[in-house]
Amino acid sequence: MSQLAKVARPRRTREGSPWTGLWAVVTKEMADSLTSVRMSILQLLIVLTAAGTVYAASQDLKDLVGKDPFIFLKLFTTGRDPLPSFVGFLGFLVPLIAIALAFDTVNGEFNQRTMSRVLAQPIFRDALLLGKFLAGLFTLTLVLAVIWLLIYGMGILVLGVPPGGEEVARSLWFLVVAIFYGGVWLAVALLFSIVLRQTAAAALASIAVWLFFTIFWGIIAQLLAQALVPMRLGTVQEVLDQAKLEMSLTRLSPNTLYAEAMLAMLNPAVRSLGLVLPFQLQGAILGTPLPVSQSLMLIWPHLTGLIAVTILLFVLGYVLFQRQEIRT
Amino acid sequence: MAEIVLETQGLTKKYGEFTAVQDLNLAVTQGEVFGLLGPNGAGKTTTILMLLGLTEPTAGQVRVLGLDPARQPLSVKARVGYLPEQVGFYDGLTAFENLIYIAKLNGLPRQEAYRRIDALLTQMGLDQVANRRVGAFSRGMRQRLGVAEVLLKQPQLVIMDEPTQGLDPEAAHEFLEIIRRLKQDGITVLLSSHQLHQVQAVCDRVGLFHRGQMVLCGTVPELAQRVLGGAYRIHLQAEGPADLEDAFRRIDGVLQVHRSAPSTYELEAEADVRAEAARSVVQLGGRLLALDIQMPDLDEVYARYFAQEVEHVPAR
Ligand SMILES: Nc1ncnc2c1ncn2[C@@H]1O[C@H](COP(=O)(O)OP(=O)(O)O)[C@@H](O)[C@H]1O
Ligand SMILES: [Mg+2]
């Protein structure tokens, strides 16, 4: 009996590196997504959004040249009612791009009947899955980096001044936050592409999760907080407790983590992400600006939160993918 | 004794209560073409997946080229080519691009990959369409591209699942020619098919599957001998006296005579008795119109074997 069990489960020692073939997968997937119609449309959309919002913002900011030391950062955060700022737009463009990049990664291979052919090559499934995820992340990085350069180009042209070192540093962190935020949605879409065999179902499921966090989670967090910490006496303590719980709950949403991290990174005046702050980016906050390192300390939990969620989702997908039988 | 390239012992796969493959003992030797044959759902694909380590066996052992596919999957996959059932390609990429990706996954240096791909596309008659998108390819072209891909890694063993399925008769015939050429090049081939009659000619040996079990294994004449009793079937057309049928029965080695039409006879014999049958017709003053010998047909072997099996099962 024990003899047989040993024979049947010999997986423990695997030969070779699990990353054999990783770069072949990454380069192929990146080439695919960069040349796909789907991505061209999204790239066009994001370029138009960036150009539109940043141009509008720069018109409003012209008068502040020389007075505001962080005028380039305001290019990202200034919105013209009723339109949100560029950062606000990114809040839903990044998930959209990430989902578009990943919703058909695994089930697409099954549907095209290429999965068994690829996995019959000398690579592990690890390399295939990670390669696909990294390709999505690199593509997203590439798109965002191009947008970033575009915005700086426009800023220099319209405002007529070069950006300061502090501004560049902060907006590079803005890039990092946006990429990590995209990583979460890549992992969500990848997971659905593993679980659901139909690509359309995976796309819809990913969008449903995104809608849930964008629209409903705020309301649910509020209701939950009211139910869990009811107002009995109406003391200040009760009000505070309830508000604290509500904020903790909203921070379970990657959207909140993104919005708060952006707020702190692009507004040097933001000194804390505590209760007093509204979750809007245009809040006028008084006080002396923080150095970049201090702002970074402020958003560190947010960054690690985003990374942790990404890793968790990826590992879950990885485990499920390892167990799948490859018939097609 | 030729070297054994593929061997299984007690290989079993269960899906819950259902047993897809049961206690399979198989040995394929160097340079032979082995056919896993049987109707749909018999367990052929499941067997192949276990051989490649694409699905884990419930019990039993597999050795492929002396390696264990579960422990040394990379070494096995580097040496074994697999052409899946209804092979798929990236439709948006060209034939060449599809092969380049596979070459990269196999770690081939670029120059070497280009050289091999050019040679293989030419060999498979696809050099004219190398830069066309695979989306526009016919089933037969895809199948040939599949073979080119499989040969890219210069495998010692090629495993093909239902390679002639969905091909028109001409394309299927061409494909069987390709398999013969692989054999000539010294490559061992394991193929599966539910079209027994179609592939029996290329297989050196076959294993007949039925509900997850390999019930018969051997060369086609061997199996015919075992199951049909006589390996030889003689088809004879003759006009003559009514007792021709009895005369055929008296010939040494004839097991059965069947008169399918007034002047058409089917003889089942242990040996080639064409000469004796012809002599009988002439001796009785009949006119011999046609005489030919039929190779035993696997479909018939299969049907007959299971008819016998059913008879032997005691009624409850
Ligand atoms: N994932 C699965 N779960 C349950 N049963 C399965 C699964 N895959 C295959 N089977 C069953 O196993 C049997 C053998 O299938 P398969 O090996 O594909 O047959 P073949 O290739 O000979 O047509 C079939 O009856 C099929 O329904
Ligand atoms: Mg099959």
User: A30 CA to chain B: closest CA distance, Å?
Assistant: 13
Query: Quick check: B131 pLDDT over 70?
Result: yes
CA distances (Å), origin A31, targets A7, A135, B255: 42, 9, 67
Contacts of A122 in chain B (CB under 8 A): 73-75, 77-78, 105-107
What does the pLDDT average to over A75-79? Answer: 87
The backbone torsions φ and ψ at residue B236, rounded to the nearest 5 degrees and listed phi first, read -140, 135
Is residue A7 one of the residues assigned to a domain? no
Query: Quick check: B118 pLDDT over 80?
Result: yes
Question: Can you say how many angstroms the Cα of residue A11 is from the centroid of all Cα atoms in its chain?
Answer: 35
Which of B14, B15, B58, B190 to mutate for ligand 1's pocket (most ligand atoms within 8 Å of CB)? B15
- Judged by average pLDDT, the poorest of A110-124, A158-172, B172-186 is A158-172
Q: Which atom of ligand 1 is nearest to the CA of B44?
A: 22
Is residue A214 one of the residues assigned to a domain? yes
Is residue A162 one of the residues assigned to a domain? yes
Q: Does A113 touch chain B if contact means CB atoms closer than 8 Å?
A: yes
Between chain A and chain B, how many beta carbons pairs sit less than 8 Å apart? 101
Grouping H, G, I as helix, E, B as strand and the rest as coil, residue B238 is strand
Q: Which atom of ligand 1 is nearest to the CA of B48?
A: 17
Is residue A5 one of the residues assigned to a domain? no
Whole-number Å distance between alpha carbons of A207 and A202: 9
Query: Quick check: B203 pLDDT over 60?
Result: yes
Question: What pLDDT, on the 0 to 100 scale, is given for residue B11?
Answer: 96
Query: Quick check: B77 pLDDT over 80?
Result: yes
User: B315 CA to chain A: closest CA distance, Å?
Assistant: 36
**Per-residue buried b or exposed e for B12-42, using 16+ beta carbons within 10 Å of the residue's own CB:** bbeeeeebbbbebebebbbbbbbbbbbeeeb
Is residue A130 one of the residues assigned to a domain? yes
Is residue A97 one of the residues assigned to a domain? yes
Measuring from atom 26 of ligand 1, which residue has the nearest CA? Answer: B41
Q: What is the ipTM of this complex?
A: 0.87
β-strand partners of B6: B28, B64
DSSP letter for each residue of A72-113: HHHHHH---TTS--HHHHHHHHHHHHHHHHHTTHHHHHHHTT
Written as six digits, the tokens of A265 are 């990174």
What does the pLDDT average to over B62-69? Answer: 94
- Judged by average pLDDT, the poorest of A176-180, A241-245, B214-218 is A241-245
Is residue A328 one of the residues assigned to a domain? no
Grouping H, G, I as helix, E, B as strand and the rest as coil, residue B235 is strand
What does the pLDDT average to over A174-201? Answer: 96
Residues in contact with ligand 1 (CB, 6 Å cut-off): A 325; B 15, 18, 20, 38, 40-46
Q: Which atom of ligand 1 is nearest to the CA of B40?
A: 23
Altogether, the residues listed in chain A come to a count of 328
Question: What pLDDT, on the 0 to 100 scale, is given for residue A1?
Answer: 39
- Give the A window 21-40 contacts with B, CB below 8 Å: 21, 24-25, 27-28, 32
Smallest Cβ–Cβ distance between A122 and the set B54, B59, B106 belongs to: B106
Angle between helices B139-152 and B169-184 (to 10 degrees): 10
Q: Could you report the per-residue pLDDT of A223-238, keeping only the tens digit for each?
A: 998 888 888 887 888 8
What does the pLDDT average to over A271-290? Answer: 58
Written as six digits, the tokens of B222 are 């061997």
Q: Is B107 within 8 Å of A20 when comparing Cβ atoms?
A: yes
| Among chain A residues, CA nearest to B89 | A114
Range of the domain at A170: 18-273+288-323
Q: Could you report the per-residue pLDDT of A21-46, keeping only the tens digit for each?
A: 999 999 999 999 999 999 999 999 99
Is residue A302 one of the residues assigned to a domain? yes
User: A123 CA to chain B: closest CA distance, Å?
Assistant: 6
Our count of domains for chain A comes to 1
Q: Which atom of ligand 1 is nearest to the CA of B16?
A: 4
Which of A110, A326, A327 to mutate for ligand 1's pocket (most ligand atoms within 8 Å of CB)? A327
β-strand partners of B188: B157
Measuring from atom 3 of ligand 1, which residue has the nearest CA? Answer: B15
Give me the sign of the Cα torsion angle A265, A269, A275, A278: negative
Q: Is A121 within 8 Å of B102 when comparing Cβ atoms?
A: yes
- Amino acid letter, A27: T
